[in-house]
């Protein structure tokens, strides 16, 4: 009711201001003479532009007020709301191109899928690669999956500096088309997105089923991901049921709702869509859920990154091997207020060690420790020393939450953290 009242007052204010503007421009400062008609037209056009800006600002204000109201209404979760998704459809969108090994990814999905009705599989294929299309068609016949073919296969014309990124341009174009099919053509309310070179864990569907209600209810969450960027074997604990909030958009097996896509689709970039999503203009302070142990891993060395990232990092990622009954667990600890209080207390109450002390295994009796960084260069130096990813995207370290990166080293929990009193990310860090 208060929102509606405020909306009315804002609209009344806008009308009042517009009336005064029009009066001023048309009566008080009206140009004299027909030869000044052009000047009057220009003034009216300027006024129209100002009106547009004011309306946009008012719309943004209303959206922020609604967000604050949602946070207030949903700041405390009831554990019974975490017992799994409601009856409904949660489709799997597989992005494919020219990998004939797509059968491996499809076999995994079919092996662990608990319900064909609840989790329909939709493969969207780009590239027009006939051998890959033949492989997918076999699954259309045998398992009734849906095979979509991206119709726009035109070559993208790029200048010399951008030509080496052609593959990334095509991927961004394909993602936009495929997600429009899911949310506009098929009108689904959410989707789990995978690529054609991913293995999945036995509890992949269980994980997304349990976290879907959390995503629906929490206005400060905008995705759930199966991926931990620092999830290498030896750098994660054996706690397969451990989940986190993160400020970093991970990708590589992720779920979003229709409302997020409708927000993003109107300004979707021509290339590097995942880095674009990590910018503050898109993220808007929202977070994702991610696991301690990855629920996906990639077997595809072939791709636009030419296999370099795979050899250096991806092939070392640990894939969860045990089934965790997430839908039967109380996940209320992931609620924003509760999680932040718990997380901050745990991080900053842990003993403070230097990076070298942690690396050499000193004070082994401390099973949870903290290493503090001060600035971009300090973080990168410590990250390299401790063996985690050292890059930033829009100032956010991979897998970070409130500037803190959590990982395992020498069989103990390590928090690479900023000093107490963290105030936000510096987007100039890169």
- Per-residue model confidence as pLDDT tens digits over 284-329: 999 999 999 999 999 977 766 646 678 888 999 999 999 999 999 9
Residue 277 has pLDDT above 80, yes or no: yes
Say how many CA atoms lie within 13 Å of 322 toward its Cβ: 9
Residues contacting 81, CB < 8 A, separation 6+: 213, 217
In degrees, rounded to 5, the angle at the alpha carbon of residue 323 between the alpha carbons of residues 321 and 326 is 130
Tokens 């494919």 locate to 96
Between CA 359 and CA 333, with CA 363 as vertex, the angle to 5 degrees is 85
Distance CA 85, CA 117 (A): 14
H/E stretch holding 147 reads strand 146-149
Of 73-87, 116-130, 132-146, 348-362, the least confident: 73-87
The answer, as to whether pTM is greater than 0.85, is: no
d(CA 339, CA 244): 9
Q: Is pLDDT above 80 for 74?
A: no
Q: Tell me, what's the pLDDT at 81?
A: 39
Helix (H, G, I), strand (E, B) or coil at 342: helix
State how far the alpha carbon of 423 is from the alpha carbons of 12, 397, 402, 418, 419, in Å.
37, 15, 8, 10, 10
Q: Contact 311/381 with Cβ under 8 angstroms?
A: no
Contact call for residues 73 and 100 (beta carbons, < 8 A): no
- Given a cut of 60, is residue 177 above it in pLDDT? yes
Span 190-211, average pLDDT: 98
pLDDT digits (tens, 9 = 90+) for 5-26: 545 555 555 655 555 555 555 5
User: What's the pLDDT band for 73 if we cut at 50, 70, 90?
Assistant: very low
Residue 137: what pLDDT?
99
323, HSE (Cβ side, Cα atoms, 13 Å): 9
Instruction: Note the pLDDT tens digit of each residue in 335-366.
Output: 999 999 999 999 999 999 999 999 999 999 99
Structural contact between residues 296 and 176, judged by C-beta atoms closer than 8 angstroms: no
Q: Which residue has the higher pLDDT, 371 or 314?
A: 371
According to DSSP, the residues that pair with 352 across neighbouring strands are 370
Q: Residues 98, 241, 274, 366: which is the catalytic one? A: 274
Is 197 noted as a catalytic residue in this protein? no
Beta carbons of 199 and 297 less than 8 angstroms apart: yes
> Which neighbouring-strand residues pair with 387?
none
- 279 pLDDT more than 70: yes
Of residues 352, 367, 360, the one with CA closest to residue 417? 352
Confidence of residue 88 (pLDDT cuts 50, 70, 90): confident
What residues contact residue 279 under an 8 Å CB cut-off, 6+ apart?
A: 394
For residue 225, the cross-strand partners are 254
């Amino acid at each position: 009711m208060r929102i509606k009242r405020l909306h009315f007052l804002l609209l009344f204010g806008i009308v009042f201001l517009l009336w005064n503007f029009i009066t001023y421009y048309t009566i008080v400062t009206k140009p004299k003479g027909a030869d000044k008609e052009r000047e009057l037209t220009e003034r009216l056009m300027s006024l129209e532009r100002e009106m547009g800006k004011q309306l946009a600002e008012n719309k943004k204000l209303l959206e922020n007020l609604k967000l604050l109201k949602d946070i207030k209404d949903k700041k405390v979760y009831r554990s019974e709301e975490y017992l799994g998704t409601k009856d409904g459809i949660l489709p799997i969108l597989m992005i494919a191109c020219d990998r004939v090994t797509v059968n491996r990814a499809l076999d995994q999905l079919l092996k662990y899928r608990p319900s064909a009705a609840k989790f329909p599989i939709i493969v969207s294929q780009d590239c027009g690669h006939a051998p890959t299309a033949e492989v997918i068609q076999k699954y259309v016949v045998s398992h009734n999956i849906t095979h979509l073919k991206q119709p726009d296969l035109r070559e993208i014309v790029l200048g010399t500096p951008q030509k080496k990124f052609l593959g990334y341009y095509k991927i961004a174009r394909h993602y936009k088309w495929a997600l429009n099919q899911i949310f506009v053509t098929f009108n689904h309310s959410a989707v789990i997105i995978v690529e054609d070179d991913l293995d999945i864990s036995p509890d992949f569907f269980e994980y997304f089923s349990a976290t879907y209600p959390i995503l629906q209810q929490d206005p400060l969450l905008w995705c759930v991901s199966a991926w931990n960027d620092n999830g290498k074997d030896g750098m994660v604990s054996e706690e397969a049921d451990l989940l986190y909030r993160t400020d970093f958009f991970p990708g590589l097996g992720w779920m979003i709702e229709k409302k997020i896509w409708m927000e993003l689709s109107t300004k979707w970039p021509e290339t590097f869509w995942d880095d674009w999503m990590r910018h503050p203009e898109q993220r808007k302070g929202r977070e994702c859920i991610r696991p301690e142990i990855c629920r996906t891993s990639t077997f595809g060395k072939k791709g636009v990154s030419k296999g370099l990232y795979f050899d250096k990092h991806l092939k070392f990622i640990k894939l969860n091997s045990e089934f965790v009954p997430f839908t039967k667990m109380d996940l209320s600890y992931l609620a924003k207020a509760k999680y932040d209080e718990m997380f901050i207390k745990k991080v900053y109450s842990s003993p403070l060690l230097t990076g070298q002390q942690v690396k050499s295994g000193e004070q082994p009796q401390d099973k949870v420790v903290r290493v503090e960084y001060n600035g971009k260069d300090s973080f990168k130096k410590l990250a390299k020393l401790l063996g985690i990813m050292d890059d930033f995207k829009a100032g956010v370290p991979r897998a970070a939450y409130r500037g803190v990166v959590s990982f395992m080293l020498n069989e103990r929990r390590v928090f690479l953290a900023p000093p107490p009193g963290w105030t936000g990310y510096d987007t100039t860090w890169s």
